[in-house]
A and B are shown apart, each in its own frame.
Chain A
């Protein structure tokens, strides 16, 4: 009684093994598996590379901030009163005034010195970048 289905399965398997399309099927299957494995490898490699980029950019950011602070201090040193006086006397050959004249002028005072940008109030966000594909997809869903 139970031997009939078993016999049918065995014959189907034998038929499949004898099928001329089997090598193609196996090749395609192997290719799919290989591609899937390769995809994972590519993804892993891409993540590694991106992480490396992030770390490099993070280090660059720190370096550029250091450079920025260095330049800020260079500006401050170049604007020091000692240097201004030295430049005025030695390079521009200016001398101390012998006479003082007081003249009132109807002109507003010049703007105050600008502070380093890190201490200015945070700027308001001018406009957001375009929504991503996922944001647009979620936008279509009837979510609350």
Chain B
């Protein structure tokens, strides 16, 4: 009996032990599932039952000075499909065909996209508009949902393309103002997390957490779309007519320093961007600020301004032109190798005498000459707020004492041996137009966001020349324009002033490119109360090099149209009637 009872106890303990081991194994497995691998399984569960969407903050628009959008974002939708929902080929083919009927994307392409993806869900169609999105939503496809997105649109087409720049697929600005103002334009992203049902739709009483997105600010530019289009049209016509390689036109409001128009060529198509071709990358730069060139005779305005402002000469001061000026063993001739005899300072400007400009610079002296060059803003960036701005190169006795020679000042006086950007030259002109007061150039007029408005006020930089000197110089510029034949430059109803320039093109090696020139014209209108300062620069015209022939006609047409558009009244004789 005792033996049998012991045997029975042993069997009982084996069963109990087995149960205990099984319980321990199960407990261990539970610990592994619930504690050790908790996060892994929890995230898998969340992926199945929880949905998450990123709410993109609407990117702000770039508006012209009157509120017309030049670049703005349009809300679009992407069709997202869960990989597991399209595992059945028949179901997937049917769904793809239905989406294709709305979006136009080939069903095979969508099926391939889903088949090749390794992630939970993938976009099979992008950039749907509101109508298309509504149709896709009505299809009620299992495992398919619409994700809000956006794309950049340009209501005015390619207007001001190098200035505006463009954004990448992730809506981040890559070039131009889109890149420079990215922090302002870019909205803050938000997110929404929610529990969803088997169809992927949100559960009515499920968990939902939303972090709202914030839209970016709209930026109002100083650019006027009418003037911008006008100058681009004139620039294109001049380039085509003279088979030029490119060019720039800048229009400035002298009193404020506001850039009303800034065009440069060659340019690119904003709506058909090709970032894969590296040879086209150069098209994306804004040549009005990035390219530096020898300004040529238009720089005589700076030399004359310095001499006038110091009281060394007046417009009627006489000087004898022998056709050559010798400086440190170098001979400087006029552009046409002429010797003009007795000439006034005004005639030095109107006949564009290199010898006269060199003589004026010698009267001023190197120290004061380069002081004026600096005060006009050459040799340093204008700080307009656009990236990639070149500084230009000005060699002075101070910054390069080893290489500077007196002949440098002589050649600088008529715009050679010195490089500037189109914007620097235009701003120097604007200073003359603004009675000698230099203004800081700016391209942003106002920033408008839901939280308020922030206006950019005009910023004076300092008095470069006296108001009297500026007015005198403007009258001399009027005489220059009077000497241009009317078939080349004739602005009806307004008196305008300007200066032509024809300059050689510097090569990377340091010499000049043979038979290649930059033709330019800088002008002010109207002469008495300047409303516009305009620079027209045409690169490498093939037929004639002269700024008078290549650049001045475009200036005239721009002024004629722009002043009427800006409601600047013409001189009395041009008026047909006056109000009673």
Q: Is A119 in contact with B218, judged by CB distance below 8 angstroms?
A: yes
Interface members, chain A 101-115 (any B CB < 8 Å) = 101-106, 109, 112-115
A64-98 to B contact mask, C-beta < 8 Å, 1/0: 01110110110011011110000000000000000
Instruction: For chain B, residues 35 to 60, give those with C-beta under 8 angstroms from any C-beta of chain A.
Output: 58
In the assembled complex, the CB of B97 is this many whole angstroms from the nearest CB of chain A, namely 25
* Main SS at interface, chain A: helix
Whether A70 and B67, one on each chain, are in contact in the complex, defined by CB atoms closer than 8 angstroms, is no
Shortest CB distance B466–A (Å): 33
Q: When A73-B153, A102-B576 are in contact, do A65 and B225 touch as well, CB less than 8 Å?
A: no
A48 to B575, CA, bound (A): 74
Q: Which of A31-86 contact B (CB under 8 A)?
A: 47-49, 51-52, 55, 62-63, 65-67, 69-70, 72-73, 76-77, 79-82
**Which chain B residues lie closer than 8 Å to A132 at the CB level?**
none
Q: How far is the CB of A71 from chain B (nearest CB, A)?
A: 9
CB closest chain-B residue, reference A49? B204
Please determine whether B570 and A102 come into contact, CB atoms closer than 8 angstroms: yes
Count, A-B residue pairs, CB within 8 A = 92
Distance, CA A88 to CA B148, complexed state (A): 37
B492 at the interface (CB under 8 A from A): yes
In the complex, residue of chain B having the shortest beta-carbon distance to the beta carbon of A76: B155
Which of B157, B205, B218 meets A47, CB within 8 Å?
B205
A80 x B156 contact (CB < 8 A) = yes
Count how many chain A residues have C-beta atoms less than 8 Å from C-beta atoms of the other chain. Answer: 35
Q: Within the complex, which residue of B75, B76, B579 is in contact with A65, where a contact is CB–CB below 8 Å?
A: B75
Decide if A104 touches B68 in the complex (CB within 8 Å).
Answer: no
Q: Are A115 and B67 in contact (CB under 8 A)?
A: yes
List of B residues within 8 angstroms of A49 by Cβ: 204
> Which one of B129-137, B352-360, B477-485 is at the interface?
B129-137
A residues 122-142 in Cβ contact with B at 8 Å: none
Set of chain A residues within 8 Å of B449, measured between Cβ atoms:
119
Task: Given A66-B130, A67-B130, check contact A102 B204 (CB 8 Å).
Answer: no
> A81-B225, A103-B576, A103-B577 are contacts. A112–B157 as well, Cβ < 8 Å?
no
Shortest Cβ gap from A46 to chain B (Å): 11
Chain A residues lying within 8 Å of B226, measured Cβ to Cβ, are: 81
B576 touches A101 (CB 8 A): yes
Would you call A79 and B68 a contact (CB within 8 A)? yes
Chain B residues, CB < 8 A from A62: 148
Query: Given A76-B69, A80-B156, does the pair A102, B575 have CB atoms closer than 8 Å?
Result: yes
A105 & B129 in contact (Cβ 8 Å cutoff): no
Provide a sorted-by-A list of 19 A–B residue pairs whose CB atoms are within 8 angstroms.
A52-B204, A70-B75, A70-B129, A70-B130, A76-B69, A76-B72, A80-B155, A81-B156, A81-B225, A100-B560, A101-B576, A102-B493, A103-B575, A104-B569, A104-B575, A105-B579, A109-B567, A112-B66, A118-B450
